[in-house]
Amino acid sequence: MAESNVAKTLILQGRSDGGTLERATAKARRAFRNSVAILLFLAAWEIAPRTGIVNVTFFPPFSEVVSAWWGLLRDGDLQDHLAASLTRSISGFLLANLIAIPLGLAIGWWKTAADYLNPFLELMRNTAALAILPVFILLLGLGETSKIAIVLYASLFPLLLNTISGVKNVDPLLVKSARSMGLSSISLFRKVIVPAALPTMFVGIRQAGASSILVLVAAEMVGATSGLGYLIQYAQFSFLIPQMYAGIITISVLGIIVNYLLLALERRLTGWRQTYGE
Amino acid sequence: MTIESKISIRHVHKAFSVKRGSKPFKAESQPVYALQDINLEVRQGEFMVIVGPSGCGKSTLLDLLAGLTKPGGGQILLDGQAISGPNLDRGIVFQQYALFPWKTALANVEFGLEAKGVGRRERRETAQRFIELVGLGGFEHRYPHELSGGMKQRIAIARSLAYDPEVLLMDEPFAALDAQTRETLQSELLRIWEATGKTIIFITHGIEEAVYLGQRVAIMTSRPGRIKRVIDIPFESRRSEEDLRSNPDFVKLRHEIWELLKDEVSRAQEQEKSKTLDAYGEGKSSAKGGARHG
Ligand SMILES: Nc1ncnc2c1ncn2[C@@H]1O[C@H](COP(=O)(O)OP(=O)(O)OP(=O)(O)O)[C@@H](O)[C@H]1O
Ligand SMILES: [Mg+2]
């Protein structure tokens, strides 16, 4: 009796061990799948210049870029430029949210307004923000204002369009159901329209987050004395090639982090949605 | 009769204006008469079923009762007072559940209570009680997409019952469910009705469902909808009867309603057809009616 119990426990343990092991391998496999392409790319980056396949002067090996990056970090240059860029992107991005979300909710709710304004907003969105950068510089000068303004412009339209379409596409049955419970227009908006539109709004928020960085970096290359865009441009002019790549990598990583953070926020706020992956 | 009526529908008309014509400038507003001179008295605590062919105006009538739209003529009285708008004294259950997907089952049931201004603590307790009433204890923290169709409809019923309306309006609530689930929910609805004593107005396409559930069944004509006949269903306590559905009286009533309905259904189908043809002729599809499912 006791023995058979022990045997059972052993079997169970064996099984659960197998489970842990399986899970661990699955995890490892996923980590491998996610990183293998990047690792191969970095390896190629390291080897190609060293073996002379590409010109070392223009394409220094990855390790040299890393040490240049480390140097910039130690001197504090990197932090300064990063802070300058982040201040501009975040201000522009937040300002765009502040303007576009209330405006989009209002326009989406008022269907006639949406029908009239949508083509115009599409036009504005498809007007590349950088194409009108000269206008911004002309009007606002080379200072911070024009940088924040260009980020604001680039973030505004995806936010606006997605908020409008989110509100417009709220299931009318949900509205009807809420109205039948005697909700006032304000509570209807707060308790039904906004939560129902949130997933679509987040598409806009993430697009805006991505473009706020892209556009800013380009703007900083044109006329600026600080920021990651300026760092890259300056490094290139001064023939500090590893430093130039260090700046580029910083921007890539920044873009990934921003996207990740917005995605995490989205999951928190719209976690009720079906996860189709599983 | 008038005095003891919970709901009186008197000479109610409703028409929609539908824009037709392919060019915006040529668009002329053409009325669609959905309801024409509807008269119906529903008693306190009664289970009233309304059947009628597709597109005859059943949902339109229910919207009017809910106060979501206003009649074009006539009046609807609730306890002798004209209905002025939506209110928590009436609850609706829709065919497509209409649960808020971002709220858990419990939070969905709490929604109406919140609108009623019930405090948080009491809200939670009441919602919990009604989730148990519909037999879903243990599922309160699931989101709608994690529930089956039958479970969703139970939650929707719990949501409408929780804020304690006097009248429950149900628009084909079981039409989207499979046969077994439907039968279970039918008998549960009867149990809940007996336990709560609510006045229920229940719309359906199913004749059998009508005879099984209703104390009276109102049969509507094809569009423009009118009440063609109201038939008494004289069974006492339906749930105790072992197999009511094969009872000869049940079969007879079912047949009687079917006889009344069948001309209306074929007329409604003719209407749909000609409407589709019209729409073709004018190069633009008309209002939603033409494409509605049956
Ligand atoms: N908002 C609207 N605008 C224009 N016409 C409408 C509107 N709502 C309903 N109708 C028309 O009124 C008629 C009645 O519609 P209703 O939805 O009440 O029918 P129903 O009896 O509920 O049909 P079903 O059984 O298919 O649900 C239909 O011909 C429909 O086209
Ligand atoms: Mg209907």
Query: What are the pLDDT digits (tens) for B87-105?
Result: 999 999 999 999 999 999 9
Q: What is the rounded radius of gyration, in angstroms, for the C-alpha atoms of chain B?
A: 20
Distance (Å, whole) CA B173 – CA B153? 7
Nearest CA in chain A to B169: A180
CB B228 within 8 A of CB B264: yes
Is any Cβ of chain B less than 8 angstroms from the Cβ of A35? no
Pairwise CB contact (< 8 Å): B102 & A195: yes
Pairwise CB contact (< 8 Å): B143 & A183: no
Q: Is the pLDDT of residue A249 over 90?
A: yes
Q: Is the pLDDT of residue B5 over 70?
A: yes
**What is the model's pLDDT at position A273?**
75
**What is the model's pLDDT at position A122?**
86
**Position B82, amino acid:** A
Q: Is ipTM > 0.95 here?
A: no
Distance (Å, whole) CA B40 – CA B58? 13
**What is the model's pLDDT at position A9?**
43
**What is the model's pLDDT at position B245?**
75
Q: Strand pairing of B81-82 and B73-78?
A: antiparallel
Q: Is the pLDDT of residue A56 over 70?
A: yes
Q: 32-71 in B: which are within 8 Å (CB) of A?
A: 66-68
Candidates B87, B94, B100; nearest CB to A182: B87
Q: Is the pLDDT of residue B1 over 60?
A: no
Candidates A177, A191, A192; nearest CB to B92: A177
**Position A14, amino acid:** G
Alpha helices in B77-197 (DSSP H): 105-116, 120-133, 149-162, 179-196
Q: Among A199-203, A274-278, B47-51, whose mean pLDDT is lowest?
A: A274-278
Q: Which listed ligand is nearest to B222 at the C-alpha?
A: 1
